[in-house]
Structure 1
Amino acid sequence: MSSTEAVGGSPRYQLLDILRGVAILAMIVFHVAWDLYYFGYSPVDVTTEIGWVVFQKSILTSFLLLVGAGLVLAHGRGIRWQKFWRRFALIVAAALATTAGTYWMFPDYFVFFGVLHAIALFSLIGLAFLRLPPWLTATIGIVVIGANFAYNNTIFSSRELGWIGFWPTSPPTSDVVPIFPWLGTVLLGIAGMRLILASPLTDKLATIRSNEPVARGLAFIGRWSLPIYVLHQPLIIALLWGFSLIQPATLTPPVQSVSQGFVTSCQQSCLGTGSTAARCERYCGCALEQVDTSNMWDAVSATDPTAEQLASLNSVAKLCTAMVGTVP
């Protein structure tokens, strides 16, 4: 499809394809940085470094604004259901593949509701807002965003509820894009594009075109953003994994999984009580088995555990102490 071909009665704006292309390239840069840290080739934790965090949030914001804008261009004059469901199915399939792939590679941090999951759900919800007055859609979007900052509860920090939002600490995952606040960003994209199409800006937007190689390249990437997004991470990880076989990482050790971190912390605490290394190893192995079998990871990772969670952890401590006994 060319940059001037009609999409649901509206022209395809090259500028939006270019912006989408820039966003996908920026996302690749972020994922390369994350993978380098995970494999131990970089000391920079991009999930906590403020500059990288702002960079990642900016990329996600631009993606979701463009999702809203794209919905208006494709379906604003009437929902093209066949086209919508075909693309929806592709996104859902890609999202499920992402979940399966990350569960295989990072079982403690697998993606259960990431960017693709969010785009699928938000696109479906967004259809209900295409005919509403833009000011109302924008108001609802602002409320959705603001609600996430006005309220939070630790019960939403679990995988079961983390896709909703409202959590004070992120659920255990390498990527999560919850409804609150990110649906609000898509709604702002819908409202913004509705306002643009109703203004003289729409004519100017249609004239912004370039045949320069960089612009055409970015527009091409933007038009094929979905397959590029799906394929780039497996490719990067495969290249880094192959490189690690030739040149093992030396800067930092790989990021610990939740279970590895639990065992390390447990053994350090145990050794601090004066117990022997052998006894601590047995005790922490028992604790890991009990926590994993009973799926108590939410209690382990909670910054402010509830009385029920504390009682469960204390039960594990007593059980494992009794099972280890006085073995040196």
Structure 2
Amino acid sequence: MTDTASPRPRFAIVDIARGIAIIAMIAYHLCWDLSYFRFIAADVGYDPQWVLIARSILAVFVFLVGVGLVLGHGRGIRWASFWRRWIFVVLGALAITLATYFAFPESFVYFGVLHAIALFSLMGLAFVRTPIWLAIIAAVVIIALPFFLSDALFNEKIWSWIGFWQIPPPANDLVPVFPWFGVTLLGIIATRLVLASSLSTRLSAIAPTGRLPRLLAFLGRWSLLIYLLHQPILLGIIYPAAQIMQPQIAMRGHDFLASCQSSCTEGGTSAEMCTTYCQCGLEGVERNDLWDAIYSGLVNADQQAQLDAQNRQCSALIYPDLTAPQ
């Protein structure tokens, strides 16, 4: 296969899908940044509903990698075009690794979305013209295998990119080969099936005519560049705002109540009683200005006495019989 192989006509609907996906990604990262700097209470990195949103957006991006490989190289791999784009993706991935290493050294991105796209693009080329049944088998195995195979070895960063971990190492973005390359294969399979059917003609005829579809198609064509630039822009706005406004101070009461409520209910106390106890505790912390002691863990004798007295007072609200004089 040579660079003379002609690409298929561009499908505007694919660009529109990329445009929607990049807007969703920007919105998610905006919420992540606001959560990290405590402008909002949601724990975007760990709350199950936010994790589901993040994985859904990721699935679309990784699926579209497979779509793009077939549309761009299904008739023959255009190596010059492929390597130009691939090198750009790799450089972007390296830039993200370096930036996050200095910003978040404990959870830097060492195999995130762009790293995965670079590797999946190389691996996916092997399936753009092979028998489709082979791609289907590979997709099923790659997606299913992590549900049946795990080992502590893959908890280490050096092996975690493969995907068979028991506990994932800390990283702000981690997109392992298993199962996510399987999603790229699904994109390859779906696109090959569509191109082999009459649906291909109808989809290729779709053209963005309104302002919104044209905007989405434009964003989709430049999705890679937008992906590289959007976080620096967001952080360039949010970080200075956080230094000035210090939202973590406004949110510390919420954080205290959430942590106290969780610890209290885990101890077997009812949620209603824990709410009363924790609200009492929060009022005591604010009244006695014990925030520095709580956050630093450095408590002097007077502060410990205040905390002990506060604990007895709050416990009396939910267990009056245990605290009453005998």
Normalised by the length of structure 1, the TM-score is 0.74
Determine the structure 2 residue equivalent to 1:206.
204
Provide the residue aligned with 2:121 in structure 1.
123
Which residue among 78, 81, 87 is the counterpart of 1:80?
A: 78
Are 1:225 and 2:223 matched, yes or no?
yes
- Confirm or deny: 8 A CA contact 1:157 1:168 kept in the other structure: yes
Q: Residue 251 of structure 2 aligns to which amino acid in structure 1?
A: T
Answer yes or no: is the 8 Å Cα contact 1:8–1:73 preserved in 2.
Answer: no
For residues 284-299 of structure 1, what are the structure 2 equivalents within 5 Å?
none
Tell me, which stretches of 5 or more residues in structure 2 are unaligned?
Answer: 253-297, 301-326
Whether contact under 8 Å (2:208, 2:217) holds in the other structure is no
Deviation at 1:251, TM superposition (A): 4.1
Please tell me whether the aligned partners of residues 107 and 171 of structure 2 are also in contact (alpha carbons under 8 angstroms). yes
Per mean C-alpha deviation after superposition, the further-off stretch among 150-159 and 120-129 is 150-159
CA contact (8 A) 2:22 2:227 kept: yes
Q: Distance in 2 between matches of 1:216 and 1:208?
A: 12
The residue number in structure 2 matching 1:285 is: none
Counting only pairs closer than 5 Å after superposition, residues 182-261 of structure 1 correspond to structure 2 as 182-249=180-247, 250-252=249-251
For the residues of structure 2 that align with 1:51 and 1:139, how far apart are their CA atoms?
Answer: 31
Partners of 1:42 and 1:251 within 8 A in 2: no
Task: Please name the residue that 1:140 is paired with.
Answer: 138
Change (3 A) 1:73 1:143: same
Q: Kindly indicate whether residue 17 of structure 2 is the aligned counterpart of residue 19 of structure 1.
A: yes
**TM-score, normalising length from structure 2?**
0.74
The corresponding residue for 2:303 is none
Q: CA RMSD in A?
A: 1.5
Amino acid at match of 2:105: P
Between the aligned partners of 2:251 and 2:108, the Cα distance in structure 1 is 22
What is the rounded CA distance, in whole Å, between the counterparts of 1:163 and 1:206 in structure 2?
36
| 1:201 counterpart letter in structure 2 | L
2:277 matched residue in structure 1: none
Cα displacement (A) at 1:51: 1.5
Mapped partners of 2:234, 2:37: distance in 1: 11
Q: In structure 2, what is the equivalent of residue 31 of structure 1?
A: 29
- Partner secondary structure for residue 10 of structure 1: coil
Per the alignment, residue 9 of structure 1 pairs with 7
User: Percent identity between the aligned chains?
Assistant: 48
Post-superposition CA distance 1:136-182 (Å, at most 9, x none): 20221111010011111122111111111011222111000000000
Structure 1 residue ranges without an equivalent (≥5) = 1-6, 254-275, 279-328
Structure 1's consecutive aligned runs of 4 or more residues displaced over 2 angstroms after TM superposition are 250-253
> Quick check: 23-32 or 131-140, which moved more?
131-140
- 1:224-259 CA-to-partner distances (Å, cap 9, x unmatched) read 001100010111111011112321113436xxxxxx
Cross-structure match for 1:161:
159
For 1:248 and 1:56, the matched residues in 2 are separated by: 27
- Letter of the 1:38 partner, please give it: Y
Deviation at 1:277, TM superposition (A): 6.4
- Specify the alignment match of 1:176 in structure 2: 174
